[in-house]
Amino acid sequence: MIVVSKIDELKKLIYDWKSQGQTIGFCPTMGSLHAGHMDLVQSSKTQTDKTIVSIFVNPTQFNDPKDFEKYPVNTENDLLLCEKNGVDIVFLPDVKTMYPDTKTPIQLSIPKLQNHLCGRTRPGHFEGVLQIVAKLFHLTEPTKAFFGLKDYQQFRVISAMVENLNFPLDIVGVPTRRETDGLAMSSRNVRLSTKERETASLIPRMFALAKKTIQAGERDIKLWKEILRDFLLTGSSLRIDYLEVVDPIELQPKEKLEGEILLAIAVFVGEVRLIDNQVIEIPN
């Protein structure tokens, strides 16, 4: 495994691979890697010849500077995990390398997809994501790039950028890796106290309830959301940022419980913001 932090070095390695006709899989991350990230790596390894992981805590996607400062960093462990999982290159740039020009910044956005859900509470977040991902795509020239469906809105925003701007690559969505109680794995989970971790397990239990009530015939969207909100809030200290039912492609609010829906939530457990979602097929 090669660890590079300089763009020239990265481009030289990629040039060599490309001239040998190798396909490249790319998994962008912010580090503090866990089994969910490694699912992206494994998908990449089965679908492409070479796999690149980038580790970069991107400052432009943090609307809250405190969240940025507290973002866990664990580079030594990340590199071990990447090595163990057969990653070919880890790209580990610093902020100056990624943002040499801070005087004339560019802004990318897909308003229809990003002005609600996480975009509402985190203004500027998706602009930051699109900016860094577009740059990383140009630097790594991947055949395929792998994104977790846990960050479903991010997956859709990036897929739409690739489509709109004709980036020559495919986006692959990878299912969410979960802990044994169903909580989605997240780098932020390490910031939860034991008590908060218990509270967080309400999230997967809420999704189980959501499916159960649909199976039992619930079709009133307003009532359904109320049942789920009540379940999360009764006797718990959890705060709901949003709990929304949208269509899985354009992420617009659904009026009725029919067809395929995306149930997406963001909650605060203590100071930690957690997100999760499920695509649910509503039976006729």
Known catalytic residues? Answer: 37
Q: Are strands 24-29 and 144-148 parallel, antiparallel or unpaired?
A: parallel
CA atoms in the 13 A half-sphere facing the CB of 170: 12
**Candidate residues 60, 153, 187, 189; the one interacting with ligand AMP per rule CB under 6 A:** 187
CA distance to 145, 174, 202, 245, 278, per residue, from 260 (Å): 25, 18, 24, 10, 10
Looking at 96-104, 108-116, 174-182, 208-216, which segment touches ligand AMP (CB under 6 A)?
A: 174-182
192 contacts ligand AMP (rule: CB under 6 A): no
122 contacts ligand AMP (rule: CB under 6 A): no
Burial class (CB in 10 A: 0-12, 13-18, 19+), 147: buried
Amino acid occupying residue 31: G
Taking the complex as a whole, the smallest distance from the CB of residue 260 to ligand AMP amounts, in Å, to: 20
- Per the annotation, where are the binding residues? 30-37, 61, 148-151, 154, 185-188
CA angle 257, 260, 262 (to 5 degrees): 85
Which of 247, 256, 255 has its CA nearest to residue 112? 247
Task: Give 244 or 276: the residue with its C-beta nearer to ligand AMP.
Answer: 276
Sheet holding 239-246, edge to edge: 239-246, 259-269, 272-282
Three-state secondary structure call for residue 252: coil
Taking the complex as a whole, the smallest distance from the CB of residue 131 to ligand AMP amounts, in Å, to: 14
**Candidate residues 150, 156, 254, 273; the one interacting with ligand AMP per rule CB under 6 A:** 150
**Candidate residues 4, 14, 40, 206; the one interacting with ligand AMP per rule CB under 6 A:** 40
- Per the annotation, where are the binding residues for beta-alanine? 61
36 contacts ligand AMP (rule: CB under 6 A): yes
118 contacts ligand AMP (rule: CB under 6 A): no
Q: What are residue 276's DSSP bridge partners?
A: 265
Query: Binding to ligand AMP (CB under 6 A): which residues in 44-103?
Result: none
Looking at 169-177, 207-215, 237-245, 256-264, which segment touches ligand AMP (CB under 6 A)?
A: 169-177
Task: Give 29 or 44: the residue with its C-beta nearer to ligand AMP.
Answer: 29
39 contacts ligand AMP (rule: CB under 6 A): yes
245 contacts ligand AMP (rule: CB under 6 A): no
Task: Give 146 or 224: the residue with its C-beta nearer to ligand AMP.
Answer: 146
Three-state secondary structure call for residue 34: coil
29 contacts ligand AMP (rule: CB under 6 A): yes
159 contacts ligand AMP (rule: CB under 6 A): no
Three-state secondary structure call for residue 26: strand
Distance CA 262, CA 275 (A): 13
| Phi then psi dihedrals of residue 272, to 5 deg | -95, 130
User: Could you please report the per-residue DSSP string of 98-125?
Assistant: H-S--SS------HHHHSSTHHHHSTTH
186 contacts ligand AMP (rule: CB under 6 A): yes
**Candidate residues 11, 177, 205, 229; the one interacting with ligand AMP per rule CB under 6 A:** 177
Binding site for ligand AMP (CB under 6 A): 29-30, 36-37, 39-40, 147-148, 150-151, 174, 176-177, 184-187
